[in-house]
Every structure is written in structure tokens, then in C-alpha cells.
Structure 1
Amino acid sequence: MAISKLETDRLILRKYEEKDMEALFLLLKDEEVNMFLPWYPVNDLDEAKEFYKERFANREYYFAICLKEDNFPIGYVKVDTDDSHDFGYALQKECWHRGIVTEASIALVEQLKKDGVPYITATHDINNPRSGGVMRQIGMRYCYSYKEQWQPKNYLVTFRMYQLNIDGEGDRVYQKYWNMYDTHFVEKNL
């Protein structure tokens, strides 16, 4: 049975609902929040609703991040269910640097462990090192870097790929991006 709600000391993680579209719009329209995400900021509420339908609706591990005090979405945390088990997140910039995404992510990883998900992967642009900081704080480890002509924004990006083997199989490394892109390498001292 799919989990629809998780709680931490400060947070409620729950599914987005129709009543949350304004909150999602506030997150998706912010250029700074969406600078390193694989889409352009939305322009209006209708685009936010369409984004929700295409990317969030009916996804097992996609959760709104809400503070317990008001249960109003201030961000999201998600893991895809394909072979990458891609982990991602976004948070309103007014809430940055308070450990909120880390707290939400730890709760989600605990649920994934209970559900038998073997690993998660995540990537970040080298120009967004704070995102890598979140990945390390939840126990992910750096595996490799690769260069991609990033779409839809169409510019060259160097990504760092991190992985957390939830099942404890320490030697497993997800190779898809390594194999997909000609320019790939392991950075020292990461």
C-alpha cells in the first residue's frame, strides 16, 4: 500500500492536493529556486496545474514538504520508481538553510528502506554545490561526474552523480549516465 503521509519533528510530508496548486505555483514560478532544475519556471497557475498533472500526480514517492504549524506546502521531495530511483527536491528560498530538505529527505529514505527500494541516485550541477551538501548529509556518496548538453535549457553542464545504497550493497554504482555521456570522470577529493 502506498504511503500518503510521513511526519518528522517539524514537517509533514504528504501528497499534493488540488487545494495546493497556488503553493506549487509559488514554488515553480521562482527563477532562483528553479535555476538548477530541468524545466523553466512556470508563468501562471494553469501552467503549474499542468506541471502537477504531468510530473507529480499519481507518483508513489512525490511529497509536498509542509511545516507542521500550518500544513502549507513550501517545497517537495521525490524519488522516481524507474531504474535510476532519481531523488530530487526543491524548497522556497525563504526556507533555505534551515535543514528542512535534509529532514524531509531522511524521512523519505527511511520509508524507501521499509519498502525495499535498493538505492537512490541524484545529480547536481557543479555550480550548485549546496545541493551536493544535502546529498552528503543524508548519506549519499559521490560516484562520478559527467558533461551533458542539458535539455530543455540547452547548455553544457557538468553534473556530479551521487548514490545511496539503502540495502547496504556498498559496491553498486548506477552506470547509466557514465555510459550515456562520452565525457565522464571521477573528481578527486569529493
Structure 2
Amino acid sequence: MNSSGAEENLYRLFAYITHQQQRRIQKMLTHKGTKELTTKRLKLRRFTVDDAQDMFNNWASDAEVTKFVSWPPHSTPDLTRELLGKWVEEYEKSDYYSWAIEYNGRLIGSIGAPSITERDERTEIGYCIARDCWNKGITTEALEAVCNYLFDEVGFNRLEIRHATENPASGKVAQKCGFIPEGIMRESFRSSRGVFCDLVMLGRLKSDRN
């Protein structure tokens, strides 16, 4: 066997071992999808396309609520319905986590884990709540329920939240749930207004709960 053949065999062996290791690592997360969660005041459930009008009325059309998200406020319920249609299709995947938040039977927001890194057992969490439900502890209650589910049921080791420095209220919610500020990511996000924002990175580890 010439040297090039030996190198090729070594490369194939390395690729096989790496693939097997990656498979073992990925099995450490036990994905269960978006299951219904309940708290003292809230029900967290899957969205349906029938939620479009309520979502549009309660937060998706509000420029103040959507100021620090990636999509602009919706101008019509049809845009909201189109977005929900995409979300609903994703529920077929076991690693898709997106909850509608109900408070007193009213749809008032969303919370989910949109960015999963399997190998590192971590994900980012994002949330968006109707303006008339701010400062009532609702987001904190929903976030704690989702954190417990992702840690205990799915097996994540690290959860992350990022918020614009101009939106400190979001950071207060995260810190109430045990997230620790870890630094500033300068101009790392372009908001729906087209403005680059500095983001605060906060993290919470499974071991932080001990």
C-alpha cells in the first residue's frame, strides 16, 4: 500500500470514529418536543393557526413589544397566520420547542428555544409578552417552567438568554430565574428597526440549581 492509500484509510477511520462519537454525544439529549406545561397561573401549549388573530391583537402588531425582535410588527393578521403556519409545521420535529402562553384563558405571548447546539447540550431561550401583561411576573413564571422542562426532561446542561442593552427589563426576568450576566456582545444583533444592538449574554447551568 502506498502512502496516499494509508493516509486515506486513516482518514476514513478517523471520520468513522468521529461520527460514532458524535452520535453518542447527540443521544445525551432526550428530545420530547413542545409538551403542554402548567404553572400556578399559566398554561403553556402548542400554537395553532387559529391563534393568529389573538397573537396579532395582543403583541405581534405592537411596535413597542417587537422593538427588540428580528421581525417587524405585523400589519395584518394574515402575516401572523403565515408565521404561525410555519411554526405549526415545525411541531413535527421532536427538537422543536415553541410555546403559546395562556393567562386566564387568554393568549398573551410566546416562549421557546429556537437555537439548539446538540453537541454542547445548550440552547438559547427567547420570549415575547403582550404589553399589558408586563410587570406581573408572568414572563418569569413561564421562563422557570420552560427551564425546568429543558433541564429535567430534555437534559440540557446550559441555557442562554440574550437581550439588548436597551431592554434591561428582559434581563431582570432572566436573573430572577437564576441566569447570570456573562458579558456584552457588541453590535451582534440587528433589530426589526434595522439597528445594530449590543446584547447582554446571560447563562444558566444545570449545576447552578444545586
Query: TM-score, normalising length from structure 1?
Result: 0.80
* 1:160 counterpart residue number: 200
Residue 76 of structure 2, aligned match among 25, 28, 44: 44
Counterpart-to-counterpart distance in 2, 1:104 and 1:17: 19
Offset, 1:125: 0.8
For residues 136 and 169 of structure 1, the distance between their equivalents in structure 2, rounded to whole angstroms, comes to: 12
Residue 105 of structure 1: aligned partner: 143
Partner deviation per Cα, 1:146-168 (whole Å, 9 max, x = no partner): 222643543231111111112x2
In structure 2, distance between residues paired with 1:127 and 1:48: 26
Normalised to the residue count of structure 2, the TM-score between the two structures is: 0.73
1:52, distance to aligned residue in structure 2 (A): 2.0
What SS does structure 1 have at the residue aligned with 2:183?
strand
Q: CA shift at 1:53, angstroms? A: 3.2
Contact 2:100-2:110 at 8 Å conserved across structures: yes
CA distance 1:57–1:100, change in 2 (3 Å): farther
Which ranges in structure 1 are unaligned for 5 or more consecutive residues?
171-190
Root-mean-square deviation over aligned CA pairs? 2.0
Residues 39-188 of structure 1 mapped to structure 2, 5 A cutoff: 39-55=71-87, 57-59=89-91, 60-67=96-103, 69-70=104-105, 72-83=106-117, 85-114=123-152, 115-148=154-187, 150-151=189-190, 153-166=193-206, 168=207
Structure with the higher fraction of residues in helix conformation: 2
Query: Which structure has the greater CA radius of gyration?
Result: 2
Match of 1:2 among 33, 36, 40: 33
Equivalent in the alignment of 1:15: 46
Q: Does the alignment pair 1:34 with 2:66?
A: yes
Partner of 2:79, secondary structure, is helix
Percent of matched pairs sharing the same residue: 25
Moved more, 144-153 or 132-141: 144-153
